[in-house]
Chains A and B, each alone.
Chain A
């Protein structure tokens, strides 16, 4: 299980490094999107966003094919309930990072126009301080069945 996650992570990091441009202010770690669930219209994406620059950087989501809409969201606890709010942008502190994680900040993707499978790469487009940056997100299953995954990878 951990091995598989590690391989997935390494693959994600590697494929990201290939596309990396010098000008990019942010780097994304463990960028992943859950394969959309049947009976639902939305899915979520998570990552750790690192900012190695000396200034605070804003992150705005613009699009991700083949999803009809993408948004940045924040889940907050309000009066004992988990509530989700749309936010216009995330702010990544200077020399710091922001973790997008379940029950917290996340990206939300709505209504894909085709079926999304496990192990795909979804290119998510962001505006980083107004500059375009495309980040590959790996699609992962909601529940990992270890046996199937192993035969898949090796």
Chain B
């Protein structure tokens, strides 16, 4: 009895060992693979340009910079847009063909589509100022892990302010985030990042 049990159990043991080695190997491999590929943030989206429908995939370039703010913002938005503009002034015609800046205003209640387009374009002629419906805006804001919060500010002349993410997102041609810079304050940093990613 003991022998008949022992003999097959040895076989089973060897097979089980082989199986375990194989399974753990596969597991380890996929774990390494998972660690190397960060989950993709971003993708295509739809907004409005001067009131008309605007699809990212119809206007994408090799490298797309995205900033989310509002036109009536007097402090961080214009500062971020001007450092990008200052960086863009250093690029060649050929480089400029491959890059663009998209500015999305989340202030769907106060920023008119033409105002946003004109606002963005005065920093740099090819900056694209976008608006959208609340649903479109919220979709984009969530897509890129950004956020905004409208706050009533009765003490202030303007009456409100919008707290928002202060970040430049660098998107590839699919709209996926490949880099981001928080509190962009230096045109050199933007310039170097674009050079590196192009």
Contacts and interface: CB of A to CB of B under 8 A. Distances in A.
Given A103-B79, A103-B185, A37 B119 contact: yes
B111 interface: yes
Contacts of A26: none
Interface string B143-160: 000011101010111100
Contacts, number: 109
A44 B161 CA distance: 14
Contact of A142 (B72, B75, B123, B149): B123
Contacts of A78: 163
Given A43-B74, A73-B75, A143-B86, A83 B122 contact: no
Interface in B92-115: 111-112, 114-115
B165 interface: yes
A26 B131 CA distance: 43
Interface in A8-29: none
Contacts of A69: 157
Interface string A65-91: 000110101010011111111100000
B164 to A, nearest CB: 5
A42 B74 contact: yes
A145 B75 contact: no
State the majority secondary structure of interface residues on A: strand
Contacts of A102: 75-76, 79, 185
Nearest to B105: A39
Given A42-B72, A103-B166, A142-B78, A83 B151 contact: yes
Contact of A40 (B74, B151, B156, B161): B74
Interface in A60-118: 68-69, 71, 73, 75, 78-86, 102-103, 106, 108, 110-111
A71 B156 contact: yes
A39 B153 contact: no
Given A83-B151, A102-B185, A143-B89, A42 B158 contact: yes
Most chain A CB within 10 A, of B112, B117, B163, is at B163
B191 interface: no
Contacts of B82: 142-143
B124 interface: yes
Given A39-B115, A69-B157, A81-B164, A44 B124 contact: no
A15 B183 CA distance: 33
Nearest to A46: B75
B119 to A, nearest CB: 3
B71 interface: yes
Contacts of A43: 74, 78
A144 interface: yes
Interface in B44-91: 71-76, 78-79, 81-82, 85-86, 89
8 contacts: A34-B78, A81-B149, A82-B75, A86-B156, A108-B156, A110-B157, A142-B82, A143-B123
